[in-house]
Structure 1
């Protein structure tokens, strides 16, 4: 995968890449899709969760967008440029209308950015707008953003902020989006209905400014059970599914009624640890006794837990090679990947020695929490990690639960060790450095998804310098440096990068996306 930063040179040239405006032939037929995880809401500002974002992307659009290779492209903004080191100017596309017929203006953009931090969210989109210190509406199709320091990633970040019309009014609740009352965007599909945890129905927006969708209607179903999802595809009940179970990939490849599409993703599966508290709720002594201190605060313990895990074995036996063992957040050859960071080598003997050096010769006990409905083989991975930890003396109980339940616990800091996934969907490592490992603090834009409350001021300092460095090469070196600081300190325990696998009925194709999103506009009739 080639590097994918948004470069200053492109900005100064006006980012002349444009969506092709020639419309595809509109096929008057519906598309039924089945995805593995439900959106948390139709509100596009509610939750930075991939299942929610990919639903939003059907009905809402941002100033910029990312293509299937997560390269930044124009969307509602047709161009942008740096006026000076602290001012970005975006020119909106003329002739764009919302689903209610209202024209898109810069006032709608300003309204949307103002709304984002006001939405009560488990993981706020405000991480993508915090760099903006001022907004100036120059004219109906021109808007300027001020930043406190040079900020090279604004066009990347704004791909995550969906634009809604100011006509929906102030303080509109997320429930108004779920009912359809406020579900008004500019996207290729219009809202029809939403049945939580079951389906979203959408209709083609025939007034769409760009390429018209191939599908007249989309029946977007949520089928969390992998076997049921595959069965729905093979029976013809649905035409597309995502997250094909690893155990079924080979079988589906040999079925001439369906086709497989696969590609590397940007999603790292990792373990987070409570490194902040002096005592932590899910850790006790080897016999269940209370401990006076939290062993996870000790770097030696964190390293021991990391090297006690046989990553290649998980990739081969649990993931059936639909993953790549990892030692950092970015996959090889991507922007920000640091070749000096190795995949931790499986070494249970050294793990035992490190535990003894840290004062835990007999180990300790821990509860590992994680989802059972979100990532490929998530609950199985937790069980295997528990077995590997047990072999070095860390008795591990697994509590796997639906992601919604887990996130509630994490937001209340009720976990000591947990499994999660994170996709640097901007195509570079800044979001993981800032949101997952940045020092969490009141009023800070860092650490919004840092549930272990890891803090390393040295890493924060380098990350902050990277975020105000406009030169791409210099910024990449700083991000590589920040990632190495974090990985050397075992801020989290990377396990593997997922591959993404989709399956379609014969006669359809799906364009794989590095961001793992499953969108109806990526499904095409074979021609």
Structure 2
């Protein structure tokens, strides 16, 4: 069955979903284990998905990233710079304490001031002033009009201000990540309560009977089993050891489609897989001459070199051979259908001759040496993609070594090395828009790195262009949707089309597999959530 046909089948299945199923236990096999249960430790997909079962947000997304009220039962703009959020009355944390505006303010302050993690949430907290009106009424103000306020509030999870920890009073408000990992501070108001985390094995949660919010509580107990091995994950589903798996290997999709005891759900995500390149160091640690000797000048500083590397990558071949046809070539930050895309940018054409001409113009007619670093357990076929890029660049005259490693090691080193700057020169990473539109990746990946503003939090290549920054800032203060979309598109045109600040490769298509009788509501944000696993009609 073709990919497009499978999407149609999934849509029909979703339309025919039954109502809430009888409560029972469920086990979900997932590829990636979170790095922490602290909701602000790392703005990373696996963390945000699993932790979001325990800690609710003011506003959340449905499977298609449409806004739904969560802790806030309503919200509205009072004027150009002030938003009002009304909390649901009677909300309780899992320990029975009341959830009030004080907890929301505390959570934002802790997220904003968090130290020690990777890829922070500051892009969503900076520039916002929170004011308590009463226990259930919150005003959030900004210096300029900010129409994306509800979207931003889908990112920060709310914890109890009364949670206790073992940290010092001046470090993350006295609570360490370990306090969340062992359950001491893991007190949220989400649909499920934290039970235990056996690292390397499982996280267990149980239904919270006092939950009030937009999501189903079909299951009494949810167990997330960590199965990084792709064959083992598929085998666990086929053996009945788990009820669902995420990240179905692309190589197994055709076989599983023929299995009457398995149901597949899939959809295009908002995640772009892309390459960051060192654009801030005169001497870059993993850029050499073709014999492996250090270079006095970093060629990646030249946009012509970055463009040439992009032209050396055969995206259709990677999609077809590495991704088994289950991906879409990318030319910008978001696929068709998302807000703020540029109408001008298409996937780069594979053109080795043109790339070599650009290299010669930039002063590197004989090429140079590179090392590509990437994770081997975070994105679909991530290590294989790195290998493919290494082979393509090497064949085109840039001999490229390939180094992959577990995501927890990779992200720490890629985000900040010993000197506080990213350690690597050339990395494969991915980004899914947490807000469902283009400002999220623009602010985090391509805006000038500025911790005081929260911009560039995941800008591991340190791309910087004042014109791009100005356009992003203008877009974020523009209420008119059409004008804001054009500004975001223009910023994307400059950052990627002119500067080649990152090299987009492809958009992920995600596939979930369930046992017969269940179906999963495929999500554009890629999250694997217990409340989107339901009984089929």
Using structure 1 for the length normalisation, give the TM-score. Answer: 0.94
Q: Distance in 2 between matches of 1:47 and 1:289?
A: 35
Q: Distance in 1 between matches of 2:281 and 2:490?
A: 27
Which residue, out of 120, 123, 127, partners 1:127?
123
Alignment of structure 1 residues 485-504 onto 2, 5 Å: 485-488=494-497, 489-504=499-514
Runs of at least 5 residues in structure 1 that lack an aligned partner in the other structure: 1-22
Aligned to 2:189: 186
Aligned to 1:457: 466
User: Does 1:239 pair with 2:243?
Assistant: yes
Q: CA deviation at 1:442?
A: 4.8
Aligned to 1:329: 333
Q: Distance in 1 between matches of 2:67 and 2:383?
A: 34
User: Does 1:284 pair with 2:284?
Assistant: no
Which residue, out of 327, 350, 355, partners 2:354?
350
Which residue, out of 525, 530, 535, partners 1:525?
535
Aligned to 1:395: 399
Which has the higher mean CA deviation after the structures are superposed, 101-110 or 477-486? 101-110
Q: Distance in 2 between matches of 1:152 and 1:80?
A: 12
Q: Cα 1:337–1:442, aligned 2, differ >3 Å: closer, same or farther? A: closer
User: Does 1:79 pair with 2:89?
Assistant: no
Aligned to 2:410: 406
Contact in 2 for aligned 1:26/1:213 (Cα 8 Å): no
Q: Distance in 1 between matches of 2:296 and 2:97?
A: 62
Q: Deviations over 1:454-495 (max 9, x none)?
A: 111111110110011111111000000000001121001000
User: Does 1:110 pair with 2:105?
Assistant: yes
User: Does 1:474 pair with 2:488?
Assistant: no
Q: Distance in 1 between matches of 2:202 and 2:42?
A: 18
Alignment of structure 1 residues 35-74 onto 2, 5 Å: 35-74=30-69
Alignment of structure 1 residues 227-306 onto 2, 5 Å: 227-306=231-310
The secondary structure found in structure 2 opposite 1:317 is helix
Which residue, out of 196, 200, 203, partners 1:197?
200
The secondary structure found in structure 2 opposite 1:167 is coil
Q: Distance in 2 between matches of 1:196 and 1:71?
A: 33
The secondary structure found in structure 2 opposite 1:46 is coil
User: Does 1:367 pair with 2:376?
Assistant: no
Q: CA deviation at 1:290?
A: 2.3
Q: CA deviation at 1:117?
A: 2.1
Q: Distance in 2 between matches of 1:508 and 1:495?
A: 33
Q: CA deviation at 1:53?
A: 0.4
Aligned to 1:507: 517
Runs of at least 5 residues in structure 2 that lack an aligned partner in the other structure: 1-17, 165-172
Which has the higher mean CA deviation after the structures are superposed, 223-232 or 443-452? 443-452
Q: CA deviation at 1:124?
A: 1.1
Contact in 2 for aligned 1:27/1:216 (Cα 8 Å): no
Contact in 1 for aligned 2:124/2:454 (Cα 8 Å): no
Contact in 1 for aligned 2:41/2:177 (Cα 8 Å): yes
Q: CA deviation at 1:335?
A: 0.8
Contact in 1 for aligned 2:122/2:457 (Cα 8 Å): no
The secondary structure found in structure 1 opposite 2:531 is helix
Contact in 1 for aligned 2:20/2:534 (Cα 8 Å): no
Aligned to 1:444: 453
Q: Distance in 2 between matches of 1:439 and 1:366?
A: 24
The secondary structure found in structure 2 opposite 1:34 is strand
Q: Deviations over 1:144-186 (max 9, x none)?
A: 1111211111110111111111111542222111111111111
Q: Cα 1:96–1:24, aligned 2, differ >3 Å: closer, same or farther? A: farther
Q: CA deviation at 1:247?
A: 0.2
User: Does 1:151 pair with 2:171?
Assistant: no
Which has the higher mean CA deviation after the structures are superposed, 116-125 or 93-102? 116-125
Q: CA deviation at 1:26?
A: 6.2
How many residue pairs align between the two structures?
504
Q: Distance in 1 between matches of 2:189 and 2:142?
A: 27
Q: Distance in 2 between matches of 1:247 and 1:68?
A: 25
The secondary structure found in structure 1 opposite 2:500 is coil
Q: CA deviation at 1:337?
A: 1.5
Aligned to 1:138: 133
Q: CA deviation at 1:119?
A: 2.3
Q: Distance in 2 between matches of 1:82 and 1:181?
A: 37
Q: CA deviation at 1:343?
A: 1.1
Q: Distance in 2 between matches of 1:434 and 1:109?
A: 23
Using structure 2 for the length normalisation, give the TM-score. Answer: 0.92
The secondary structure found in structure 2 opposite 1:494 is strand
Q: Distance in 2 between matches of 1:245 and 1:66?
A: 26
Aligned to 1:10: none
The secondary structure found in structure 2 opposite 1:244 is coil
Aligned to 1:160: 155
Q: Cα 1:47–1:442, aligned 2, differ >3 Å: closer, same or farther? A: closer
Q: CA deviation at 1:49?
A: 0.4
Q: Distance in 2 between matches of 1:92 and 1:490?
A: 43
Runs of 4+ in 1 over 3 A off after TM superposition: 23-26
Q: CA deviation at 1:292?
A: 1.5
Q: CA deviation at 1:131?
A: 2.6
- Aligned-residue Cα RMSD (Å) equals 1.3
Q: CA deviation at 1:291?
A: 1.4
